């Protein structure tokens, strides 16, 4: 294992070396490249929980990401305070942290702002809908047969699944899609994307296992989900090599983004539920009081939070829920910072693989409240009829769009290449018209990758599937609805 050093992991080196920056300028440039990008702007019309919501007070993915960035910066600052206040010897990595605190904070903010940029329309339900569509072996076997990849009515074997990297789609997730957007889709050449520093790419890699040979390991949190697609395996490996991070190692700053996201959504989803009158704050407080009634509370801060739930207020200038949320967030930030500091050396050596807010720790009363909030959200918001009905609509919309674009996946590689090269092709009028709806940025990435993999029909089909999914996952909720209505003839413009 490499001897990891923060000075190596906070590097200005980029994929495209034509751009030269000083340390802080490089990370400020990364942040600018993200916030001026179209995928970042599109998050304002992607739902956090309530899709197709007209109430602008309810969070979108964009407003949620801004809140996560604030909390991530808060945690980063709290870690620096922990380092400054320690009575122990400050090592080289700690000294580097304090010296480059502004750069570190900027990387954390950008990582937080980017964490949901790859999410498809209709959020996590959209992710599962894409996965389910590609998990239908009969459907995929029929498509591959028409595309000339498997013969006749042969079953879809595991070997073929591996050859076409079907995991990219059956385990589709917004996190690897975000890496794909940043490293491929946003660039004019289809190869360098936003041309982030290797540091920013690594810090944005929430899960560190992926690629062609991905196997989920239930004992390793960092393999909980697919971390990157087969198409980005090369750039991820190059990133680790450039930063001296061991294979499958997590960048230290990623822990902060993960904790910030947990802290943010555990209260914001309930806040939105209250705003939309899906749930009353009184119900939340009664639930927390009931669930903690048999607990011996020894944490003074948690005792204060429970007093707020019981109506014992100290700040009448804000709502009860706002006071509750503020105190809990401060407590969770402090806990995350202390956890990071207590495992500082392990994290720096890329040997730590647990979240900072580890809900498996049943002894910590701060995490008890976090678990209760997530339980309450599952039972009273995610399972609410209005939310579930929108999710069912989202499922129909995304499934319908995938069904409509299936003819493009059924083409042989030669016929699809003819469309790409604007040559005469033996394809249906439907397929040719569907092809012309695809965005140029997605097509640029496809063309660039095909040039590197000429003649491999399995990789070509994988890249073609990514082309379709890149288009769909980039859609806003409203655009997906309108496209579905147009393609299916429900609404003709």
Distances (CA, A) of 189 to 198, 315, 442: 18, 55, 11
Comparing 340 with 361, which gets the higher pLDDT?
340
Nearest to 413 by CA among 154, 88, 164: 164
* pLDDT tens column, 86-101: 876 789 999 999 999 9
Distance, in Å, from the CA atom of 117 to the CA atom of 115, rounded to the nearest integer, reads 6
Residue 54: pLDDT band by 50, 70, 90 thresholds?
Answer: low
For the chain, the average pLDDT equals 90
- Other CB atoms within a 10 A radius of the CB of residue 40 amount to 21
pLDDT digits (tens, 9 = 90+) for 98-113: 999 999 999 999 999 9
| pTM of the complete model | 0.93
Domains and CATH numbers, the chain: 6-123+169-243 (1.10.3210.10), 254-382 (1.10.3410.10)
Mean pLDDT of 192-219: 91
CA pair distance 108, 199, nearest whole angstrom = 11
Q: What pLDDT is recorded for position 84?
A: 92
Mean pLDDT along residues 58-75: 92
The CA distance from 16 to 195, in Å, is: 6
Cα distance between residue 266 and residue 353, in whole Å: 22
296-305: per-residue pLDDT in tens? 888 888 889 9
CB count, 10 Å around CB of 423? 9
What pLDDT does residue 28 have?
Answer: 93
Identify the top-confidence range among 126-135, 217-226, 379-388.
Answer: 126-135
Q: Is residue 45 scored above 50 in pLDDT?
A: yes
pLDDT, position 191: 78
Q: What mean pLDDT comes out for the span 146-160?
A: 85
The predicted-structure confidence for 286-332, as pLDDT tens digits, reads as follows 999 999 988 888 888 888 999 999 988 777 788 888 999 999 999 99
Per-residue pLDDT at 10: 95
What does R_g of the chain's alpha carbons equal in angstroms? Answer: 24
Higher pLDDT, 262 or 19: 262
DSSP string for 254-316: HHHHHHHHHHHHHHHHHHHHHHTTSS-HHHHHHHHHHHTTT-----HHHHHHHHHHTT--S-T
pLDDT band at residue 1 under the 50/70/90 scheme:
very low
Predicted confidence (pLDDT) at residue 51 exceeds the cutoff of 70: no
| pLDDT greater at residue 300 or residue 135 | 135
Q: What is the pLDDT of residue 451?
A: 83
Q: What is the DSSP letter of 185?
A: I
- Give percent of the chain with pLDDT exceeding 90: 64
pLDDT band at 52 (very low <50, low <70, confident <90, very high): low
Name the pLDDT band for 219 (thresholds 50, 70, 90).
Answer: confident
Whether the pLDDT of residue 258 is over 60: the answer is yes
Query: Under a CB-based contact definition with an 8 Å cutoff, are residues 451 and 457 in contact?
Result: no
- For 403-443, write each residue's pLDDT tens digit: 999 999 999 999 999 999 888 888 899 999 999 999 998 99
* pLDDT for position 320: 87
């Amino acid at each position: 294992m490499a001897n990891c050093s923060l000075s190596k992991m906070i590097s200005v080196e980029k994929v495209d070396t034509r751009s030269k920056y000083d340390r802080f300028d490089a990370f400020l440039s990364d942040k600018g490249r993200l916030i001026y990008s179209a995928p970042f702007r599109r998050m304002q019309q992607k739902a956090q929980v309530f899709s197709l919501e007209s109430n602008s007070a309810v969070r979108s993915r964009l407003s949620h990401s801004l809140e996560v960035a604030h909390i991530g910066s808060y945690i980063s600052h709290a870690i620096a305070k922990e380092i400054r206040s320690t009575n122990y010897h400050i090592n080289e990595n700690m000294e580097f942290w304090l010296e480059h605190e502004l750069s570190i904070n900027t990387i954390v903010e950008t990582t937080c702002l980017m964490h949901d940029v790859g999410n498809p329309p209709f959020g996590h339900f959209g992710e599962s809908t894409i996965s389910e569509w590609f998990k239908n072996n009969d459907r995929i076997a029929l498509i591959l047969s028409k595309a000339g990849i498997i013969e006749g009515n042969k079953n879809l074997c595991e070997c073929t699944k591996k050859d076409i990297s079907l995991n990219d789609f059956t385990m589709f997730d917004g996190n690897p899609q975000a890496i794909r957007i940043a490293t491929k889709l946003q660039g004019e050449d289809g190869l360098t994307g936003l041309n982030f520093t290797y540091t920013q790419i690594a810090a944005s890699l929430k899960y560190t296992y992926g690629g062609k040979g991905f196997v989920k390991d239930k004992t390793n949190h960092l393999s909980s989900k697919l971390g990157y697609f087969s198409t980005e395996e090369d750039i991820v490996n190059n990133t680790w090599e450039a930063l001296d991070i061991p294979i499958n190692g997590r960048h230290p700053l990623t822990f902060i983004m993960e904790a910030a996201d947990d802290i943010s959504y555990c209260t914001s989803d309930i806040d939105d539920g209250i705003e939309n009158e899906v749930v009353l704050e009184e119900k939340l407080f009664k639930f927390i009081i009931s669930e903690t009634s048999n607990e011996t509370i020894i944490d003074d801060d948690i005792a204060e939070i429970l007093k707020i739930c019981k109506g014992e207020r100290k700040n009448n200038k804000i709502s009860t829920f706002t006071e509750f949320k503020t105190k809990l967030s401060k407590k969770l930030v402090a806990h995350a910072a202390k956890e990071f500091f207590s495992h500082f050396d392990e994290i720096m050596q890329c040997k730590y693989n647990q979240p900072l807010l580890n809900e498996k720790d049943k002894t910590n009363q701060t995490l008890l409240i976090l678990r209760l909030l997530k339980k309450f959200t599952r039972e009273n918001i995610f399972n609410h009829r209005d939310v579930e009905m929108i999710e069912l609509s989202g499922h129909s919309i995304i499934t319908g769009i995938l069904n409509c674009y299936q003819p493009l996946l059924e083409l042989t590689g030669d016929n699809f290449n003819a469309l790409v090269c604007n040559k005469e092709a033996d394809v249906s009028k439907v397929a040719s018209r569907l092809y012309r709806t695809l965005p140029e940025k997605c097509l640029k990435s496809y063309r660039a990758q095909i040039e590197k993999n000429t003649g491999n029909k399995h990789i070509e089909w994988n890249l073609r599937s990514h082309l379709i999914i890149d288009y769909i996952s980039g859609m806003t909720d409203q655009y997906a609805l309108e496209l579905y209505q147009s393609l299916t003839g429900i609404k003709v413009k």
